[in-house]
Amino acid sequence: VVTLAEESDSEGRPLAAVALARALANRDRTVVLVDLHADGANELAMGEAPTLVGFADLLAGEASFAQALFRDRRSRTHFIPAGSRAVNPAMLAGERLSTLLTALDHTYDHVVIDCPDDTIARMAIGADAALVASEFASTDPRTVRAVARIARASDAHIFYLLVEPDRRAPERAEAA
């Protein structure tokens, strides 16, 4: 489970989940990244358009894994985008979520879930590890709240990653 400290001042959210999934895949592990963010940032980073069939469609029973599973263009990582609608906590209630996550867990060495704040309580259950990516210090209240949300929902080992926001001038950041 990868989450961000709330109230980030960055223009775009850090793609810690993509970097983590790629690093695990580079260690000869099978990895799937499940993206629950509606912004499409992970899909764009992995070389796909942000309007793909995905996890919301799987949850609704409107798509199969074959339709919702894609391959990163820069690594062996597979990914499942958020889907045609935003994933919200109400969608995560019920047995279907457990069935989908169990199937992924049996198929892949690592299942990386990139989730927004409102889905942490449901998605952190059963997680072995969680990563809080934050541009704020570990003692900052925003980071502390993100860690506490995971700790309330799970016994996962929680890791903290300090993310340096891109402070370059806009024209230089676009060229990068």
pLDDT in tens, 37-61: 888 889 999 988 777 899 999 999 9
Query: Distance (Å, rounded) from C-alpha 90 to C-alpha 85?
Result: 13
β-sheet with 70-71: strand ranges across: 70-71, 78-80, 31-35, 110-114, 2-4, 129-134, 157-162
Count of H helices and E strands in the chain? 8, 7
Q: What is the pTM (predicted TM-score) of this model?
A: 0.86
Query: Distance (Å, rounded) from C-alpha 160 to C-alpha 149?
Result: 13
Q: Are 155 and 163 a contacting pair, CB within 8 Å?
A: no
Residue 127's identity, in one-letter code, is: A
* Tokens 């570990």, residue located: 138
Say whether pLDDT at 67 is over 60. Answer: yes
Task: Please state the rounded mean pLDDT for residues 122-151.
Answer: 90
